[in-house]
Amino acid sequence: MKSKSLTFIVPIFAIIILVLAACGSGDGEKKDNAGAEKESASSYPEKNIDGIIMWGEGGATDIIARTLAPMVESEIDGSLVMQNKAGAAGAIATQYVHDQPADGYTLLFGAENPNLYQVLDISDRSYQEDFVPVTIIANSFAGIIVKADSPFETLEDLVEFAKEKPNELIFGTTGEGGLPSVVLAMLQNELGTEFKTVPYDGEGPVTTALLGGEVDVTAVTVSAAQDYVESGDFRMLTVVNEEPIEALPDVPAITDSYPEIDKYLPWGPFQAVFAHKDTPADIVEKLSESFQAAVETDEFKDTLSNLGMEYMNISGQEAIDYVDQNRSTSAWMLYEAGETAKSPEEFDIPKVEE
């Protein structure tokens, strides 16, 4: 009887010992994996980082990204390989970055456009649900521009013509959700203008189209138009702000002519860098520190000033709050102008109080 009991008990103890050993081994593996993650973050980057620019060459996003990249390389001790992936108001680049591994090796150099993808039914992607901000570099101002030989000397000239002869003038855009479409919504919603629109893949292409006479008017960031204005090729009719800006002090603010636009302001495009939302937090932190150090340099601040942009250099929760505020303003502005496919309420986008 004793012998049978021992025969039964010994295998049970053996099983328990094996299970405990396996658990201990698993804990060790977890610790080793955690250590490996820390080690990989501390040694990041171990290969080139791809910087995906959501617009074509020559626009504000492209200029800022390519100016900043070499400065970031010095800070992070790695290489940034910049690529333009234009199309669908930046949605092609946004989807591309979203589809890459969340390892910090593919970054989105973007503007405000993904804030409107869902209400415009362009894409399911959004900054809020799919990305984390590495840094908000700067914000800027939109300017409404025409060629220097245009018959429209003032914004009032343009608005009156567009109201009296709807859809006769061609307004160049960067597609649904781009800066020009938001400015058009302001004009339509408050002033009753009607333009024919033609989309282009970014500010560079649309300014080239204006220069070539393919379109009559467009709205772009001040940075994308400034050289053309200063060279005498373009005339900027207004800056979309409550007051003139330092970069172009002679250009009137839009509220000088149309005070009713004030309810949408302050509003403007921004330049930022985003990573996939599942990127390890310590890698995002390392990226943020490197980008912020680069943006903080006097050399880059001078670049921003010369481009008519306002230095921001924010990250973390402050950056998240800023992007959310921009989204609320733009989404509801377009919705009230009848330009969105869906209501912002469907996506829990709060309305900004006037």
* CATH for 305: 3.40.190.150
In the prediction, which pLDDT does 92 show?
A: 96
**Residue 135 to residue 168: CA distance in whole angstroms:** 41
Residue positions counted in the chain:
354
Q: Is the pLDDT reported for residue 21 higher than 50? A: no
* 72: confidence class by pLDDT, cuts 50, 70, 90: very high
Q: Is the pLDDT reported for residue 232 higher than 80? A: yes
Of residues 12 and 246, the one with the higher pLDDT is 246
End position of a domain, from candidates 264, 293, 327: 264
Q: Is the pLDDT reported for residue 237 higher than 70? A: yes
Q: What number is the average pLDDT over the span 72-84?
A: 96
**Residue 186 to residue 124: CA distance in whole angstroms:** 25
Q: Is residue 164 part of a domain?
A: yes
Q: Is residue 104 part of a domain?
A: yes
Of residues 339 and 163, the one with the higher pLDDT is 163
Q: What number is the average pLDDT over the span 151-159?
A: 98
Count up the domains in the chain and report the number: 2
Strand duo 270-276 + 217-221: pairing: unpaired
Q: Is the pLDDT reported for residue 81 higher than 50? A: yes
Q: Is the pLDDT reported for residue 122 higher than 60? A: yes
Q: Are residues 259 and 274 in the same domain?
A: no
CA atoms within 13 A on the CB side of 121: 7
Q: What number is the average pLDDT over the span 164-175?
A: 94
Q: Are residues 159 and 303 in the same domain?
A: no
In this prediction the pTM is 0.75
In the prediction, which pLDDT does 348 show?
A: 95
Q: Is the pLDDT reported for residue 6 higher than 70? A: no
**Residue 327 to residue 141: CA distance in whole angstroms:** 16
Q: Is the pLDDT reported for residue 65 higher than 80? A: yes
End position of a domain, from candidates 264, 286, 304: 264
**Among 108, 114, 113, which residue's Cα sits nearest to residue 80?**
108
Residue 142 in contact with residue 240, Cβ under 8 Å?
Answer: yes
* 250: confidence class by pLDDT, cuts 50, 70, 90: very high
**CA 123 distance to own-chain centroid:** 14
Q: Are residues 256 and 288 in the same domain?
A: no
Q: Is residue 297 part of a domain?
A: yes
Q: How far separated are the first and last CA of the chain, in Å rounded?
A: 88
Q: Is residue 57 part of a domain?
A: yes
Q: Is the pLDDT reported for residue 103 higher than 90? A: yes
Q: Which two tokens stand for residue 47?
A: 């290969």
**Among 287, 279, 278, which residue's Cα sits nearest to residue 80?**
287
- How crowded is residue 140: how many other Cβ atoms within 10 Å of its Cβ? 27
Of residues 227 and 277, the one with the higher pLDDT is 277
- How crowded is residue 307: how many other Cβ atoms within 10 Å of its Cβ? 21
Q: Is the pLDDT reported for residue 36 higher than 50? A: no
Q: Are residues 62 and 127 in the same domain?
A: yes
Query: Residue holding tokens 């890459």?
Result: 100
Q: Is residue 187 part of a domain?
A: yes
Angle between helices 60-76 and 281-295 (to 10 degrees): 110
Q: Is the pLDDT reported for residue 104 higher than 90? A: yes
Q: Is residue 2 part of a domain?
A: no
* 23: confidence class by pLDDT, cuts 50, 70, 90: very low
Classified as helix, coil or strand, 102 is: coil
In the prediction, which pLDDT does 353 show?
A: 64
* 144: confidence class by pLDDT, cuts 50, 70, 90: very high
End position of a domain, from candidates 243, 264, 285: 264
Strand duo 80-84 + 196-199: pairing: unpaired
In the prediction, which pLDDT does 338 show?
A: 83
- Percent with pLDDT over 90 in the chain: 64
Range of weakest confidence among 23-32, 200-209, 217-226: 23-32
* 40: confidence class by pLDDT, cuts 50, 70, 90: low
Q: Is residue 212 part of a domain?
A: yes
**Among 86, 108, 105, 88, which residue's Cα sits nearest to residue 97?**
108
Strand duo 196-199 + 170-173: pairing: parallel
Q: Is the pLDDT reported for residue 118 higher than 70? A: yes
- Taking all residues of the chain, what is their mean pLDDT, rounded to a whole number? 87
Q: Most distant CA pair in the chain: distance in Å?
A: 112
In the prediction, which pLDDT does 221 show?
A: 87
Residue 152 lies in domain = 142-264
